[in-house]
Structure formats: C-alpha cells, structure tokens
Structure 1
Amino acid sequence: MKTGWLIYSEPDAVKNTSFIDWLKEEASLGGLSLELMYAERFAFGITENRLSLYYDLTETELPSFAIVRTIQPLLSRQLEAMGLKLFNPSAVSSVANDKARTHQFLAGAGIPMMDTLFIHPSIFQIQSMPFTFPLVAKLASGRGGEQVHLVKTERELADALSTHPEQEWILQKLAPDAGKDIRVFVVGNKIAGAVLRSSANDFRANYSLGGMAQFYHLNPAQTALVEQVISYFDIGMAGIDFLLDEKEAFIFNEVEDVVGSRTLSATSDINIARLYMEHIAAKLKKPESE
C-alpha cells in the first residue's frame, strides 16, 4: 500500500475534518494510505548543500506522493524538487492561486474572459485606468469570494485597494449576468460535474457567502470550452469557474486549486473523493515518462 501525505494548514484541517476523513476512507478502498500533515510544522531549505525537509524539527523521508490542500507554492516546489509526486503539481497551483497569472497564462488562447487590468496599488494611478465604472476589484491571491469588491466610484476603488495595498490586484469589467456563475469540477483533467451558483443579494455567487447551488448540465459548446481550458493544465482535482454572458455562453473567471466539494455533494451523488483517489492510484502506477 502506497502512503501519501495529505497536507493542510492546521486551521483548514479543523474546518475540513469530514472531507479529510472521506479522502482517507476512499484512499484506503483504492489501496492507498493518507497521513495528515500540517503545513505549519514543515521547515525546509538547504542543509549541507542539498535540499532538506523537516517535520516537527526532525528530518523526514518522503512518502510516495502528496495531496497539497494548502497554498504554499515554495513548499510545493521544494517537495517536487526533492522528487515527490504532487497533486496538484506546483505548476498548477502557482498559476491557479494568482488570478492575474491565471488570466495572463490563458490570454491569447481564444478563451473568452472579461477585460482585465493587473495593478499594484503603490504604483497605480486612477487616471491611467482604461475602464469605466462599475468594476470588480479582486485581490490576485484571494480565495472563496473574499477580497472581491464591486466598485462604482474612485473612492470605493481606493477603499478596496487600501485593504491590501502591498499586494497585486486585478480590475475587471462587470459580467453581464452578475451574481451567477458555474463551477466545473475537474478530476484527472476530466470533467466530473458542474454546479450553478447564484445569489439574489450579492454579485458574488459563492456558496460559502450564502449563495444557492444546483447541479448544472453543460451543453456541447460549454464542454468544449472547459476542455480547452483543462488542456493547459495537469489537474489532479480543481474547480474552474465561469461567468455567463447574455446568451448563457461561458466567460472564463478563475481556477480554484484547493477546491471544496460541498456544492457538488449537495446537488449530486458524484463521489469526487473516490474519483480523485482512483486518479491518483492510476497515476502512481504509470511510469514517470507517461
């Protein structure tokens, strides 16, 4: 039985106990074993001219693989450089966890997205902005709908940017059908299912912010666009979010690397944990060259 690390931050592990237990159960059924590891207890760097890794102050041996459920790009790259197989790979997490990098990475691929401006508050000048209000201001590193602001005036924009003046932001034109989006769940670079999220009271449709969810059946054009986005990544498990235009066509929004599955579980009988463990088991059986 191959053993892998399931890496969480300690606060997130407390909030996701049931999902962790679910992953462990499905891993066991698939011939794998998962050991919960806390990101805060790792120390890593270089010892005697070689990459090194410590856990609870003890230099530790690597398992067969790791599922990274926290956003620590440098830790992910260290683990990969030391030979560990990661789900998701660091190349996915480094792009997906930065909204500006995600849009920049996919630009020019013919994937529809809202007009977007990458800015840093310390050097941004309002008179250089080519867009008109209203706009959506998003912290590039934000997750779960946090630090996403609908701004209608210069003052509202300044107030939003002041919350994290030292970090990168993106400004986007407001989507035609604000308050509604589609989250497509992807496992092993295949579509597992999709959920329509909507809110009657907020331009953000996040379930964690009080939005509603229902299972969503993709049409052929939507499926083709999702598969086009997927083709640029090596996804273990992730969510890809799309906005909608006036004709219900998809507009790419973001990739959620450490995706939750509450909406999919609440609206379908799809066992995404089992699909994920089956994908990992299959990948571990393949030679590295494949």
Structure 2
Amino acid sequence: MADYQAWIIYNGNLSEEKFIELASWIDTVAKSYSITTKLVKNNHLLPTCSDTGPTLVGYSEPELPHFVIFLDKDVLLAKQFESMGIPVYNNANCIETCDNKSLTFQVLAAHGIPMPKTILAPFVFHQHQDYTPFHQAAKALGFPLVLKEAYGSFGMQVYLIHSMGDLLQKINELGNRPFLLQEFIASSKGKDIRLNVVGNEVVASMMRISSTDFRANVSNGGEMLTYDPSEEEIELAIKSSQLVGADFAGVDLLFSEDGSPLVCEINSNAHIKNIFDCTGINVASYIVPHILQKYKEHLK
C-alpha cells in the first residue's frame, strides 16, 4: 500500500495536450514512488468559506490528500488547500509571485538580482488617462522597449514597442490590465536560455533561438538547442528560484551585452515536454522525489 496520497492539480479549462501531459508525467513518476495519486482539474474544486472554516466543494474522496502538487496558477485554490492544513508544492505565495511578472521583479530587485531595467505601470480601475508617467518611463528606457502584461504565458502578452505613439496605443488597448515596461536587451534578441531548477539544482537546460521574433519562446516558433550553462547562470537561476519560494521552476535568462545573464522570467508551472524533447531529461523525475522529501521533512 502506498504511504502517501497526493492530488495533482492542473488547469481544467485548457484542453491542449501539453497541459494534461505535464500532469500525466508527474503522475507516472509519483506512482513509481508508491504515491497514490489523483489528477484533479482546478475548476472541479470550489473553495468554500463559511463560519465553520475553509472547505472544498466538488470532491467525493473519503479523505483529502496528504499533499498537493500544483501545476496551475489558481492561487485562491492553492491558498484554500493551505488554509486547510494541506501542503502545496509549489506553494501559493510562489505561484502568486511568479504569475504576476511585476511581483516577480519586485522580489528579485530587492535582492540585487541582475535583470533588465523595469518600470511598473500605475494601477488603474478603468483606463489610463494621465500619460505623463509613460513619457517619463520611455525617456528612462528608450525605444524600442518591451511592454509585458503582468499576467501572461508563452510570450503571448509581450510586445516590442518602437515609438511613443505605439506605446500609448497599446496602453489604451490594455485598458485596466496591469503591465510593466522593460528595457529591450538587443544583445539577446530572439535568444534566451531556459533552466529547470528543482530544489538546489539545475536539472536541465536549453537555449531557445528565433530568427523571426524578438521572443525566443518555442510556442512562437523558436528552435531548441542543447545548452551547457555556466556556473554564473546556474547560480543565478537557483538563487532566483529560491527567492520566489519555488520548489521547482523554469527560469528564463537573457544575455546582456557583455554576455552575463539577466533574469527574464520565472515559471512556477513550467511545461517540461519541450526540454525533454531537446535534452532527453524528464524533469518530473526530479520534481517528485524532491517534493516527497520535503513533505517528509514537513512531518518531522
């Protein structure tokens, strides 16, 4: 009989194979460690709050899991598990920080992590009407600059802005969606590296290159190459992952003009199929034993 029971939470609203595949890979490895698992769609569980305490509606199991492997960005659901005393990996604070790029850079900047110069847009409820801050930001960053929506995946909410007119047009299109403005790193145009960090170790890495887009994401047509990271890159990826509280993460690094690394993004639920196709390394085989060991330490 298995010693532990775990739920693997994944996005129930996205039917693409890559989302289900990530959960399936984790599930397969977990079973090899005699963990009884259940794959659960996040939208099949309803966090419920009342004067009797936090509960969940939508499950029919006789008992809740010992711990949860969380492969989604549903922060409120993750927080609900934690408020019920169930450990979550990655934890809710990590998910929240990584999902919001502005929060990510605030955390990293407080610890001197090298990154592109970044300016966070003012918060608005409806629409930006005072454009003075953006003229100041453009002066500080220069053109072209990068505009990133605070929430987004696969490079789909990242835009290269070439002029003040383009910037104001994009700001108007975004309405009240939060975003940040960032220095464009020309030396890393269409090129970055992805390092998968688990605990205190970089377990897999690859370079991504695009000849047609300033973004190197594979989803946008980027090519994958095997890559042997430097000690500086490894240390930066591990430190950045730990600063956001991740047990496992995909850390994306850019190349500055002198070749030194800059943090571009940290993904708390990075997909691992592409890096497996590139390197032959199944990152899930590192994630599961790390979580299991951490849970055992939690019990002490």
TM-score, normalised to structure 1, is 0.92
The number of residues matched between the two structures is 288
Match 2:235 to one of 201, 204, 224: 224
- The residue identity in structure 2 corresponding to 1:23 is I
Structure 2 residue aligned with 1:170: 180
Q: Is the 8 A contact 1:137 1:149 kept in 2?
A: yes
SS of structure 2 residue aligned to 1:208: helix
| Structure 1 residue 80 corresponds to structure 2 residue 88 | no
| Structure 1 residue 9 corresponds to structure 2 residue 11 | yes
Moved more, 225-234 or 148-157: 225-234
What root-mean-square deviation, in Å, do the aligned CA atoms of Structure 1 and Structure 2 show? 2.0
| Structure 1 residue 127 corresponds to structure 2 residue 172 | no
How far apart, in 1, do the equivalents of 2:156 and 2:295 lie?
A: 35
| Structure 1 residue 136 corresponds to structure 2 residue 146 | yes
Structure 1 residue aligned with 2:168: 158
Match 2:202 to one of 174, 191, 197: 191
**How far did residue 124 of structure 1 move?**
5.3
Distance 1:123-1:49 versus aligned 2 partners, 3 A rule: farther
Moved more, 16-25 or 46-55: 16-25
**How far did residue 136 of structure 1 move?**
0.4
TM-score, normalised to structure 2, is 0.89
Structure 2 residue aligned with 1:215: 226
- The residue identity in structure 1 corresponding to 2:43 is E
Distance 1:32-1:13 versus aligned 2 partners, 3 A rule: farther
How far apart, in 1, do the equivalents of 2:156 and 2:163 lie?
A: 20
**How far did residue 44 of structure 1 move?**
1.4
Moved more, 217-226 or 205-214: 217-226
Match 1:32 to one of 28, 31, 35: 35
How far apart, in 2, do the equivalents of 1:144 and 1:233 lie?
A: 20
How far apart, in 2, do the equivalents of 1:50 and 1:123 lie?
A: 42
**How far did residue 19 of structure 1 move?**
3.1
Match 1:247 to one of 240, 243, 258: 258
How big is each residue's C-alpha offset from its partner over 1:211-260, in whole Å with a ceiling of 9 and x where there is no partner? 01112111122222223323324322210111101232101111111101
Q: Is the 8 A contact 1:4 1:33 kept in 2?
A: yes
Q: Is the 8 A contact 1:13 1:20 kept in 2?
A: no
| Structure 1 residue 93 corresponds to structure 2 residue 95 | yes
SS of structure 2 residue aligned to 1:23: helix
SS of structure 2 residue aligned to 1:83: coil
Identity score, percent: 27
How far apart, in 2, do the equivalents of 1:192 and 1:258 lie?
A: 15
| Structure 1 residue 55 corresponds to structure 2 residue 66 | no
Distance 1:161-1:44 versus aligned 2 partners, 3 A rule: same
How far apart, in 1, do the equivalents of 2:87 and 2:103 lie?
A: 23
How far apart, in 2, do the equivalents of 1:98 and 1:287 lie?
A: 27
SS of structure 2 residue aligned to 1:111: coil
Q: Is the 8 A contact 1:54 1:60 kept in 2?
A: no
How far apart, in 2, do the equivalents of 1:124 and 1:62 lie?
A: 50
**How far did residue 153 of structure 1 move?**
1.3
Match 2:268 to one of 257, 270, 288: 257
**How far did residue 164 of structure 1 move?**
2.7
How far apart, in 2, do the equivalents of 1:86 and 1:13 lie?
A: 23
Moved more, 127-136 or 8-17: 8-17
Distance 1:60-1:38 versus aligned 2 partners, 3 A rule: farther
How far apart, in 2, do the equivalents of 1:86 and 1:124 lie?
A: 41
Distance 1:73-1:124 versus aligned 2 partners, 3 A rule: farther
How big is each residue's C-alpha offset from its partner over 1:152-196, in whole Å with a ceiling of 9 and x where there is no partner? 012222332334311210100101321111111011242112111
Query: Any gaps of 5 or more consecutive residues in structure 2?
Result: none
Structure 2 residue aligned with 1:181: 192
How far apart, in 1, do the equivalents of 2:26 and 2:194 lie?
A: 21
- The residue identity in structure 2 corresponding to 1:174 is F
**How far did residue 32 of structure 1 move?**
1.0
Moved more, 182-191 or 12-21: 12-21
